[in-house]
Structure 1
Amino acid sequence: MQKKLGSFSIKYWSDDDKPREKLVQKGKAILSDAELVAILIGSGSRDESAVELSKRILASVNNNLNELGKLSIKQLTQFKGIGEAKAVSIAAALELGRRRIGEDSKKITKITSSKNCYDLLQPILGELPHEEFWILYLNNANTVLRKNQLSKGGITGTLVDVRLVLKQALEYGAVALILAHNHPSGTLRASEADKKITQKLKAAAAALDIKVLDHLIITQKDYFSFADEGFM
């Protein structure tokens, strides 16, 4: 029985269709996500080309590169044709992409909006599978003096030590704070616990003439701002 054309090894394809040659001749922007992943893994298996294998991997995460970046080496090697070396190549490339986004956030030193806060912290918090609580410490000009992880928790919660937050604020000479934590579930809704800790920190900080300007809930693609929603 004749093999399907799509099952042939990439080496038998025309140069116009080979991902590497296509990138060199026409530029990286023209390649599909599957073709870019195919370049990373180099080869497929006896039953499918590298592009077909890449399409199958991407389909498993609904063609979402952010979700692909969350797959572990063990999960990637569950796909036939993906050994540890190929899995590491995929993971490394996606981590570089995540860090590239983080480079832009490093340029943000002054906070002028909730969007600034999100852009600064999303590369840190957006893709985590667990909750973390972070504090931005600001001076009079709303310039970021420090950004610190306060605590790290489970899937549904994390602890907040009010005394530690204020101790660090005094050490850094901060006059304002912005609170932030992530919701791995993607839910952009403030819980009662979120509201209570915000008010508790706001009241404690006020006694030291320190303002709590906002509290952000961060997800992979969006955020919720207490200040923007009138909860401060």
Structure 2
Amino acid sequence: MTENDYTSSRKILSWAEEDRPREKLLLKGKAALTDAELIAILIGSGTVELSAVDLAKVILQKASNNLNELAKLTTKDLMKIKGIGEAKAITIIAALELGRRRKESEIMRKPRITCSKDGYEQIRPYLLDLPHEEFWLLLLNRANEVIRPVQISQGGVSGTVADPKMIFKVAVEHLASAIILAHNHPSGNLKPSEADKDLTRRLTAAGKLLEIPVLDHIIFTDGGYLSFADEGLL
């Protein structure tokens, strides 16, 4: 084997498709990749002598094959490695910082809905002091923890449109196990209209079919709220 043949064999493009990091991720999922393969995707290319994966192994060796130690390296530390320029060093540091922030955010427990007041408090920052009507959802997981609030529509002073197809499309896309409906009455009137009741009945029925139950519909005003669940209107 000549030196050129050896160099060629080290290139990722000469590997079987399922062994290339990007293709492997698509075929087998992110968990199937080694730390070196994930870093190789970040840096994109290696050197004349080393493939991106081999260069990634050198980077890991610099940090004793420990991602926590790797996260402590500076841009200048990484740039001391042959084949790692400023752009690649910054990419690695940015990826590790995202990982750190994700771990930090996981410590914050998602708010859990145990009663209508919890739902009211969660939607309050989004509907307080509005001069027009808006329709929102609280998407919940199996533990009734809030995945996220989502605005469905914005209307005028006396009403807004809530499309059932859009509501359940959003719920399915976010893998919600249940939803809470919420809309505001700028007038301060807590009495549900016949349209409110009809929409709630239709959405409750649709939720049963899709196994995404509607747990409540909250009518919001700045001074208080009405819960369809509490009033036995679901």
What TM-score do you get using the length of structure 2 for normalisation? 0.53
2:166 to 151, 164, 167: 164
After TM superposition, list the pairs within 5 Å mapping 1:1-232 onto structure 2. Answer: 109-232=111-234
Offset at 1:206? 1.2
- What is the alpha-carbon root mean square deviation over aligned residues? 1.4
Distance in 2 between residues matched to 1:107 and 1:131, nearest whole Å = 30
Distance in 2 between residues matched to 1:209 and 1:129, nearest whole Å = 35
Offset at 1:147? 0.6
Deviations 1:151-202 (A, max 9, x none): 0000000001111111111111111110000000000101000000001111
Conserved 8 A contact 1:142-1:176: yes
Offset at 1:214? 0.2
Deviations 1:74-95 (A, max 9, x none): xxxxxxxxxxxxxxxxxxxxxx
Distance in 1 between residues matched to 2:119 and 2:171, nearest whole Å = 18
Offset at 1:119? 1.1
Give 3-state SS (helix, strand or coil) of 2:167's partner.
helix
Distance in 2 between residues matched to 1:121 and 1:129, nearest whole Å = 16
Conserved 8 A contact 1:108-1:116: no
Offset at 1:123? 2.2
Query: Cα gap change, 1:184/1:108 in structure 2, threshold over 3 Å: closer, same or farther?
Result: farther
Structure 2 residue runs without a partner (length 5+): 1-107
Give 3-state SS (helix, strand or coil) of 1:207's partner.
helix
Distance in 2 between residues matched to 1:129 and 1:175, nearest whole Å = 32
Letter of the aligned partner of 1:179 in structure 2?
L
Give 3-state SS (helix, strand or coil) of 1:137's partner.
strand
Distance in 1 between residues matched to 2:122 and 2:184, nearest whole Å = 13
Query: Cα gap change, 1:111/1:159 in structure 2, threshold over 3 Å: closer, same or farther?
Result: same
Number of aligned residue pairs: give it: 127
Distance in 2 between residues matched to 1:228 and 1:156, nearest whole Å = 24
Bigger Cα Rg: 2
Offset at 1:107? 7.9
The range that moved more, 188-197 or 165-174, is 165-174
What TM-score do you get using the length of structure 1 for normalisation? 0.53
Identity percentage of aligned residues: 53
Offset at 1:211? 0.4
Structure 1 residue runs without a partner (length 5+): 1-105
Offset at 1:128? 0.2
Conserved 8 A contact 2:110-2:147: no
Distance in 2 between residues matched to 1:208 and 1:117, nearest whole Å = 22
